[in-house]
């Protein structure tokens, strides 16, 4: 009698073990999705037959999205990738049912105890609304009592997005020589709920531009000048982002590009980027010298010296000064200095009798024992342009001249 009772208890215990889940499901990671996400490949799912014989030809594997969870399986995926010790016991072709909330993997032969299959490359889609934390489930066809729940989470958060405008800006700029300039962008919360944003800059090739700061309302600079964060911004709201930068010394025509990227904190895969393209420009001044008459004129001959100034660069030239030396073998003709300059450009003509140390000398007839009408004290003439000289022809050129007499 006692032996019979013990045997009965043993059979009950065995049945109890058999009635436990016996089949487990586990995704590789927790999965967070967002409203309006594109079709998304799943984290690999491992299904294990703990006791053996539960997963078999008449008990196919059904992976189930819980009712009310706002996504479906992507039914455009016809096959899966199978791995694990029981991969050969299953078919890669899949079918969908229950409004695409269930995907079925056909089983061809029985799993042995502890065998498992790893199912990859299925996709989720139709993220229509937010959903709280939930879990996938596994169910065996024709035996709904043998099932398991995935311990890993699935969740759908609100729709986040971002826009940075304008998409592209361009500027031709002189080197800033240690100074700074600014460029502004507009950051917009194009998502459905309040969100914060990382603001990140990068440069290509990075040979000219240096980012000094990223500033704006409720924007906090990061540890580095090239990054910052904008605090929570309401849906559809905008904020101006100001990037302060320097332009380094580089050859005329050198191009560098600064990119400003806005990245959603709520959903970091949502980004938007805008470009700022800077082309280095510079004035390039050339001076051509001429004298008339040519040849070997005799003493007492008046010589006309002419300098032709040309800005052949890509930017106007400001604060230009040209200095001519008067050799000792000639004497300067008083009041002979003249200019021919583009409209709107004038020059101050200044004289030095001490090699350019000072520029306050006024030429005088007969000075330093010169011939009447001439001045031997003058040894430098300076023309200071009082307006910028354009780089655009024909307004990029002018002439400066004076007369000296051979002694």
Q: What is the pLDDT of residues 329-385, one digit of tens each?
A: 999 999 999 999 999 999 999 999 999 999 999 999 999 999 999 999 999 999 999
Provide mean pLDDT across the span 86-108.
Answer: 97
Q: What pLDDT is recorded for position 142? A: 65
Query: What is the pairing mode between strands 195-204 and 227-233?
Result: antiparallel
Half-sphere exposure of 184 (CA within 13 A, CB side): 6
3-state secondary structure at position 177: coil
CA distance 154 to 175: 53
Q: What pLDDT is recorded for position 21? A: 57
**Nearest by Cα to 283 from 203, 391, 402, 148:** 391
Q: Place 314 in a pLDDT band, splitting at 50, 70 and 90.
A: confident
Provide mean pLDDT across the span 72-88.
Answer: 98
How far is residue 190 from each of residues 161, 231, 233, 276, 352, measured CA to CA in Å? 5, 15, 10, 22, 67
Q: Place 3 in a pLDDT band, splitting at 50, 70 and 90.
A: very low
Across 23-142, where does the E strand assignment appear? 23-27, 31-34, 40-41, 45-49, 61-64, 72-73, 81-83, 90-97, 102-107, 116-120, 123-125, 131-134, 137-140
**pLDDT tens digits, 103-155:** 999 999 999 999 999 999 999 999 999 999 999 999 997 656 668 999 999 99
Going along the chain from its start, the domains and CATH numbers come out as 18-157 (2.60.40), 162-280 (2.60.40.2310), 285-406 (2.60.40.2260)
CA distance 225 to 246: 12
* Cβ–Cβ under 8 Å, residues 288 and 266: no
**Please, what sign has the CA dihedral across residues 26, 29, 31, 32?**
positive
CA distance 270 to 273: 10
CA distance 311 to 40: 59
**pLDDT tens digits, 193-231:** 999 999 999 999 999 999 999 999 999 998 899 999 999
Q: Please provide the size of the chain in residues.
A: 407
Q: What is the DSSP letter of 89?
A: G
**pLDDT tens digits, 227-273:** 999 999 999 999 999 999 999 999 989 999 999 999 999 999 999 99
Write out the two tokens for 96. Answer: 């969908």
CA distance 175 to 250: 7
CA distance 69 to 155: 8
**Nearest by Cα to 276 from 341, 328, 356, 208:** 208
* Cβ–Cβ under 8 Å, residues 285 and 321: no
Q: Which residue has the higher pLDDT, 22 or 71?
A: 71
Please give the radius of gyration of the chain, using alpha carbons only, rounded to the nearest integer. Answer: 42
* Cβ–Cβ under 8 Å, residues 148 and 138: yes
């Amino acid at each position: 009698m006692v032996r019979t009772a013990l045997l009965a208890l043993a059979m009950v215990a065995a049945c109890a073990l058999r009635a436990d889940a016996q089949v487990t499901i586990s995704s590789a990671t927790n999965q967070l999705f967002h409203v309006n996400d594109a079709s998304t490949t799943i984290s690999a799912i491992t299904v294990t037959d703990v006791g053996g014989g539960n997963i078999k030809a008449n008990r196919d594997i059904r992976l189930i999205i819980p009712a009310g969870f706002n996504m479906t399986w992507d039914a455009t995926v016809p096959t899966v990738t199978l791995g694990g010790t029981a991969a050969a016991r299953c078919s890669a072709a899949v079918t969908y049912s229950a409004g695409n909330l269930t995907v079925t993997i056909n089983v061809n032969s029985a799993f042995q105890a502890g065998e498992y299959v790893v199912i990859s490359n299925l996709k989720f889609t139709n993220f229509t609304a937010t959903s709280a934390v939930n879990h996938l489930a596994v169910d065996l066809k024709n035996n709904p009592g043998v099932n398991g729940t995935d311990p890993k989470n699935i969740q759908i958060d609100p729709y986040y997005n971002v826009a940075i405008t304008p998409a592209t800006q361009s500027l031709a700029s002189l080197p800033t020589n240690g100074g700074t300039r600014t460029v502004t962008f507009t950051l917009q919360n194009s998502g459905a709920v309040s969100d914060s944003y990382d603001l990140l800059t990068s440069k290509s090739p990075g040979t000219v531009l240096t980012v000094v700061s990223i500033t704006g309302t409720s924007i906090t600079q990061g540890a580095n000048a090239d990054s910052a964060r904008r605090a929570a911004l309401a849906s559809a709201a905008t904020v101006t982002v100001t990037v302060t930068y320097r332009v380094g010394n580089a050859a005329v025509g050198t191009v560098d590009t600064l990119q400003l990227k806005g990245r959603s904190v709520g959903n970091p895969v949502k980004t938007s980027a805008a470009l700022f393209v800077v082309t280095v420009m510079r004035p390039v001044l050339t001076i051509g010298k001429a004298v008339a008459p040519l040849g070997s004129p005799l003493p007492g001959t008046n010589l006309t010296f002419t300098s032709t100034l040309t800005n052949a660069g890509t930017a106007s030239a400001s604060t230009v000064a040209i200095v001519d030396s008067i050799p000792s073998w000639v004497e300067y003709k008083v009041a002979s200095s003249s200019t021919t300059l583009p409209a709107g450009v004038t020059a101050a003509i200044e004289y030095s009798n001490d090699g350019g140390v000072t520029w306050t000398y006024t030429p005088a007839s007969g000075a330093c024992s010169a011939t009447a009408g001439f001045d031997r004290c003058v040894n430098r003439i300076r023309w200071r342009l009082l307006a910028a000289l354009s780089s655009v022809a024909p307004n990029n050129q002018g002439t400066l001249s004076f007369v000296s007499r051979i002694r």
